[in-house]
Amino acid sequence: MTKAIIFDMDGVIIDSEPLWKKAIIQIMNNYGYNFDIEMCNRTKGMRVDEVTLFWKEELNAPFDSKIVAEEIVEEVIRLISLDGKEMDGLEDLLKRAKSENIRIALASSSSLTIIETVLTRLNISSYFEVVQSAEKEQYGKPHPAVFITAANNLGVSPNNCIVIEDSLNGVIAGKAAKMKVVAIPEPDEQQIEKFVIADQIITSLRELTF
């Protein structure tokens, strides 16, 4: 029985994945690295500090990964504040869940600063009983900690939670948390076979059933 929905944020609540990619490409280019979309996709769903540490090691780069992460976050906040748009069907889904007494939480790899920027931009803070950032966890996705913490804070068993995720790392995390996982991949990722580990694959929040 579904008692709670736990939303990922980027690519699920807000159409911010293109903004993240734009920010990462811009900042990495500032450091002299020619980044592209495919490189961004390799670390999709990870915390930004894990992303920059990954690329520091992968490229044997001299930059300070923490400073680069901070610069990316600043740019993402700027882009979201200017041009952040909610995903299709979000508000209708939130209202439907509330009307059926389904608890609602957010569990994101993004920092609390970015989460607050998004919730303010979209004016949807009142829908979420629990807001959890993976920056508060020892490990980010694909580790399940952020989802488990969100469920615990709701007081709902993981078995009674639905996770909505757009990234493969997030889907893996939700499954590891013993939750039902609904995947909503980006259009150019909908043919990735590994998404079949999700319990359901949809193309719009309007398709979600619970």
Active-site residue, selected from the candidate residues 8, 15, 49, 166: 8
User: Is 10 considered catalytic here?
Assistant: yes
71 and 97 housed in the same domain: no
Spacing of C-alpha 64 from chain mean position? 24
User: Is 49 considered catalytic here?
Assistant: no
Q: What pLDDT is attached to residue 192?
A: 85
Active-site residue, selected from the candidate residues 10, 15, 49, 166: 10
74 and 155 housed in the same domain: no
Q: What pLDDT is attached to residue 210?
A: 84
Round to whole Å and give the CA distance between 30 and 19: 16
Location of structure tokens 């690295």: 33
10 and 22 housed in the same domain: no
Per the CB < 8 A criterion, the answer to whether 65 and 53 are in contact is: yes
Location of structure tokens 């680069």: 68
Q: Where are the beta strands (DSSP E) in 24-141?
A: 103-108, 130-133
Using one digit for the tens of pLDDT, what is the confidence trace for 12-36?
999 998 999 999 999 999 999 999 9
59 and 142 housed in the same domain: no
Q: How many separate domains does the chain show?
A: 2
Q: Which residues of 111-145 are buried (b: 16+ CB within 10 A; e: fewer)?
A: beebbebbbebbebeebbebbbbbbebeebbbbbb
Which residues constitute the domain of residue 71? 17-83
| Domain CATH number, residue 141 | 3.40.50.1000
- Please give the share of the chain, as a percent, with pLDDT higher than 70: 100
Using one digit for the tens of pLDDT, what is the confidence trace for 137-147?
999 999 999 99
93 and 179 housed in the same domain: yes
